[in-house]
Chain A
Amino acid sequence: DGGITQSPKYLFRKEGQNVTLSCEQNLNHDAMYWYRQDPGQGLRLIYYSQIVNDFQKGDIAEGYSVSREKKESFPLTVTSAQKNPTAFYLCASKPWQGGFSQPQHFGDGTRLSIL
């Protein structure tokens, strides 16, 4: 079955530590996205990538970094510079849009907490 796989499901970070969240898709989608979800707030865009080896900052990119070396993979690193990393992180992908907007499809998320 095609889909988006995020791992791990739960992750704990120590002070001063960088952690990397994995996102893999086998849908042959061109665009991939990372969102952060906090209680009572809408999803906020961290980074997105439309093609391999290219990515753009979203609305809350500070303290995060990404890479897009392969079409199917878009890992997110939460650096020690992100002072409030506790949240639910969601990865999404979509085909490159033609005339109409295509929906984004989501993985099942990674919950990151501070130790």
Chain B
Amino acid sequence: EDQVTQSPEALRLQEGESSSLNCSYTVSGLRGLFWYRQDPGKGPEFLFTLYSAGEEKEKERLKATLTKKESFLHITAPKPEDSATYLCAVQANQNNQGGKLIFGQGTELSVKP
């Protein structure tokens, strides 16, 4: 069964304290892995797409990496405005003509000044 697991469920950091969020996945052929940011009461905001192992993407203080079994979202010198829930989702290759995504349960990040 295709599955996505994110860890930790919650992460509290001090401003400037770098860390990483993990997304482990088991799918029958990966077509794409997506990272989203979600603020309270809002819809998810797209951050990155990763397609193959070894790929990396960066945006400001965020860097996403991908291996054959997991993805990491590295946050360098975070600021309070980076506080949000970060969602990971995968699109499997097989039996997926509709482009369906499988979501993890998210990591709630809190950055204190």
Instruction: Report the bound CA distance from A17 to B74 in whole Å.
Output: 46
B residues near A102, Cβ cutoff 8 Å: 99
- State whether B105 touches A41 (Cβ < 8 A): yes
- State whether B105 touches A40 (Cβ < 8 A): yes
Instruction: Report the bound CA distance from A65 to B32 in whole Å.
Output: 29
Chain A nearest CB, measured from B71 CB (Å): 14
Instruction: Report the bound CA distance from A102 to B100 in whole Å.
Output: 11
- State whether B99 touches A42 (Cβ < 8 A): no
What does the 1/0 interface line of B13-36 toward A look like (CB < 8 Å)?
000000000000000000110101
Give B97's nearest chain A residue, CB to CB: A50
- State whether B99 touches A94 (Cβ < 8 A): yes
- State whether A100 touches B32 (Cβ < 8 A): yes
* Contacts of B6-61 to chain A: CB distance below 8 A: 9, 31-32, 34, 36, 41-46, 49, 51
What does the 1/0 interface line of A42-68 toward B look like (CB < 8 Å)?
111100101000001010000000000
Chain B nearest CB, measured from A84 CB (Å): 18
- State whether B103 touches A43 (Cβ < 8 A): yes
Q: Is A74 an interface residue when CB atoms closer than 8 A count as contact?
A: no
Chain B nearest CB, measured from A68 CB (Å): 13
B residues near A101, Cβ cutoff 8 Å: 31-32, 49, 51, 91, 99
Instruction: Report the bound CA distance from A16 to B32 in whole Å.
Output: 41
- State whether B98 touches A48 (Cβ < 8 A): yes
- State whether B31 touches A90 (Cβ < 8 A): no
Chain A nearest CB, measured from B34 CB (Å): 5
Instruction: Report the bound CA distance from A92 to B103 in whole Å.
Output: 14
User: Which A residues lie at the B interface, using CB under 8 A?
Assistant: 4, 6, 31, 33, 35, 40-45, 48, 50, 56, 58, 90, 92, 94, 97, 100-109, 111
Closest 4 CB pairs of A and B: A101-B32, A106-B43, A42-B103, A43-B103
Contacts beyond the supplied A42-B102, A104-B99: 16 A-B pairs with Cβ under 8 Å: A31-B99, A41-B105, A42-B106, A43-B44, A43-B101, A50-B98, A58-B100, A90-B43, A100-B32, A100-B49, A101-B49, A101-B91, A103-B46, A104-B46, A106-B46, A108-B41
